[in-house]
């Protein structure tokens, strides 16, 4: 088990975090569409290769989560993508769920699928070079939801997934994302996140998952995106840390937040504030998708040959989040 714990530490220690570049083809198509680039296996690889070959940008990236398509692709020079990632001392990860599907008898809620055949797929991913995995459960908030059923069914699936991943000698990222969309206030997000985390750790214990060999990927505690009452960084950081302290067992070595629709600067600023008041033994870092790639994608969309400037923007975000992961980020550094 200490082997899995070492993988966690390799990914998250020393101002490092995770690049979540595991958008499904559908999601990546939306992202590319937004900058006017036609989505294809080649264009999806091309953008990702620009980021993954940035020596400076990769200095604060301890792990990269890939999608099934990317883990099987090669760079222009014929290098396998996991080899490219390893060449920077970073660890290759893979998204293994097959998506959040509509639950029966609920108009909005979802259950994440992907358990069938997972044991065999994990063997394949290990062979391809993966050493950690991701499974994302999605929890919706509105007046009547989440239901007990959605919380329980998703926590149960996460625990079954995590136990299979540890059997395959990889580190499972446990991602129960409470969505930011809605008009709920920060207290409601706190209440739901606390309930979801409690249920997840109940199921993980029941399934005998060794928590020392896991990473939690939670949402921060935030008001809904349509809430009229905005919260400041101080309130967000205090409530997020309190929620984690009260609901995540202390054996969990590392927590890497998702950005979930926050702007790039917000995601950095909030992570920094959380680390400034962190009085736990948890490593509190990032596993950002949009908050690491948005700006870089915009520049790349304007000129796909402009590798230098695309990497420059990515490096800035990766460095800033690295500093935020130890509470050393300063707003002034963003204008440099
Ligand atoms: P965001 O940081 O864009 O929320 O993506 C993280 C992720 O991997 C969601 O599953």
Q: Tens digit of pLDDT for each residue in 111-129? A: 999 999 999 999 999 999 9
Check pocket membership of 289 for ligand 1, CB cut-off 6 A.
Answer: yes
Confidence tier at 335 by pLDDT (50, 70, 90): confident
User: What is the pLDDT at residue 336?
Assistant: 57
Tell me the average pLDDT across 132-146. 97
Task: Using the atom order of ligand 1, give the atom closest to the CA of residue 175.
Answer: 10
Mutate-to-test residue for ligand 1 from 287, 293, 295, highest number of ligand atoms within 8 A of CB:
287
User: What is the pLDDT at residue 13?
Assistant: 98
Task: Using the atom order of ligand 1, give the atom closest to the CA of residue 267.
Answer: 2
Contact 21, 45 (CB under 8 A): no
Question: Over the stretch 13-51, which tens digit does the pLDDT of each residue have?
Answer: 999 999 999 999 999 999 999 999 999 999 999 999 999
Q: What angle do CA 132, 136, 142 make, to 5 degrees?
A: 160
Mutate-to-test residue for ligand 1 from 288, 295, 318, highest number of ligand atoms within 8 A of CB:
288
Contact 155, 144 (CB under 8 A): no
Does pTM surpass 0.85? yes
pLDDT above 90 (res 90): yes
Check pocket membership of 174 for ligand 1, CB cut-off 6 A.
Answer: no
Task: Using the atom order of ligand 1, give the atom closest to the CA of residue 258.
Answer: 2
pLDDT above 80 (res 236): yes
> How many angstroms does the Cα of residue 177 sit away from the middle of ligand 1?
9
Contact 93, 132 (CB under 8 A): yes
Atom 9 of ligand 1 has which residue's CA nearest to it? 258
Check pocket membership of 178 for ligand 1, CB cut-off 6 A.
Answer: no
Check pocket membership of 290 for ligand 1, CB cut-off 6 A.
Answer: yes
Q: What's the token pair of residue 20?
A: 């979540």
Nearest by Cα to 66 from 46, 48, 90: 48
pLDDT above 80 (res 228): yes
165/4 Cα distance (integer angstroms): 11
Report the relative pairing of strands 283-288 and 17-20 from DSSP bridges: parallel
Q: In the chain, where are the structural domains located?
A: 2-335
Q: Going by C-beta distance under 8 Å and a sequence separation of 6 or more, which residues neighbour residue 111?
A: 100, 101, 103, 150, 153, 154, 157
pLDDT above 90 (res 105): no
> How many angstroms does the Cα of residue 165 sit away from the middle of ligand 1?
20
Check pocket membership of 321 for ligand 1, CB cut-off 6 A.
Answer: no
Tell me the average pLDDT across 87-116. 96
For residue 169, say if its preceding peptide bond is cis, omega within 30 degrees of 0.
no
Q: Catalytic positions, please?
A: 175, 217
User: What is the pLDDT at residue 259?
Assistant: 98
> How many angstroms does the Cα of residue 323 sit away from the middle of ligand 1?
20
Q: Name the more confident of 323 and 106.
A: 323
pLDDT, the chain, mean: 97
Report the relative pairing of strands 99-102 and 110-113 from DSSP bridges: antiparallel
Neighbours of 64 (CB within 10 A): 29
> How many angstroms does the Cα of residue 55 sit away from the middle of ligand 1?
23
Question: Over the stretch 56-80, which tens digit does the pLDDT of each residue have?
Answer: 999 999 999 999 999 999 999 999 9
pLDDT above 90 (res 1): no
User: What is the pLDDT at residue 321?
Assistant: 98
Atom 10 of ligand 1 has which residue's CA nearest to it? 136
Atom 8 of ligand 1 has which residue's CA nearest to it? 20
95-99's contacts with Cβ under 8 Å and 24+ in sequence apart are 95/22, 95/24, 95/65, 95/66, 95/67, 95/68, 95/133, 95/134, 95/135, 95/136, 96/121, 96/122, 96/125, 96/133, 96/134, 96/135, 96/161, 96/165, 97/134, 97/135, 97/136, 97/161, 99/24
State which CATH number among 3.40.50.180, 3.20.20.70, 3.30.1650.10, 3.20.20.100 fits the domain covering 2-335.
3.20.20.70
What is the 3-state secondary structure of 122-161? Answer: HHHHHHCCCCEEEEEEEECCCCCCCCHHHHHHHHHHHHHH
| Cα R_g (the chain), whole angstroms | 19
């Amino acid at each position: 088990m200490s082997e899995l714990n070492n993988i966690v530490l390799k990914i998250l220690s020393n101002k490092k975090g995770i690049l979540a570049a595991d958008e499904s083809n559908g999601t990546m198509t939306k992202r590319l569409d937004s900058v006017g680039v036609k989505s294809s296996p080649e264009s999806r690889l091309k953008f990702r290769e620009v980021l993954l070959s940035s020596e400076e940008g990769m200095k604060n990236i301890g792990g990269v989560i890939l999608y099934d398509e990317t883990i099987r692709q090669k760079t222009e020079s014929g290098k396998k993508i996991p080899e490219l990632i390893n060449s920077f001392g970073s660890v290759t990860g893979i998204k293994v769920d097959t998506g959040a599907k509509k639950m029966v008898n609920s108009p909005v809620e979802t259950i994440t699928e992907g358990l069938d055949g997972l044991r065999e797929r994990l063997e394949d991913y290990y062979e391809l070079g993966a050493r950690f995995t991701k499974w994302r459960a999605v929890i919706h908030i509105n007046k009547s939801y989440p239901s007990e059923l959605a919380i329980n069914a998703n926590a149960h699936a996460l625990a079954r997934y995590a136990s299979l991943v540890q059997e395959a000698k990889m580190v499972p990222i446990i991602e129960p994302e409470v969505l930011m969309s809605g008009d709920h206030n920060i207290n409601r997000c706190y209440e739901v996140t606390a309930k979801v985390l409690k249920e997840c750790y109940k199921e993980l214990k029941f399934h005998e998952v060794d928590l020392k060999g896991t990473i939690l990927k939670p949402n921060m505690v935030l008001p809904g995106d349509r809430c009229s009452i905005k919260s400041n960084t101080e309130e967000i950081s205090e409530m997020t840390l309190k929620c984690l302290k009260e609901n995540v067992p202390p054996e969990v070595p590392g927590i890497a937040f998702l950005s979930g629709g926050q702007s790039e600067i917000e995601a950095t600023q909030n992570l920094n504030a959380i680390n400034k008041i962190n009085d736990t033994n948890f490593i509190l870092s990032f596993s950002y998708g949009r908050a690491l790639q948005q700006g870089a994608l915009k520049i790349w969309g304007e000129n796909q040959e402009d590798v230098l400037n695309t990497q420059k923007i990515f490096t800035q975000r990766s460095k800033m989040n690295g500093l935020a992961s130890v509470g050393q980020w300063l707003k002034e550094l963003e204008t440099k």
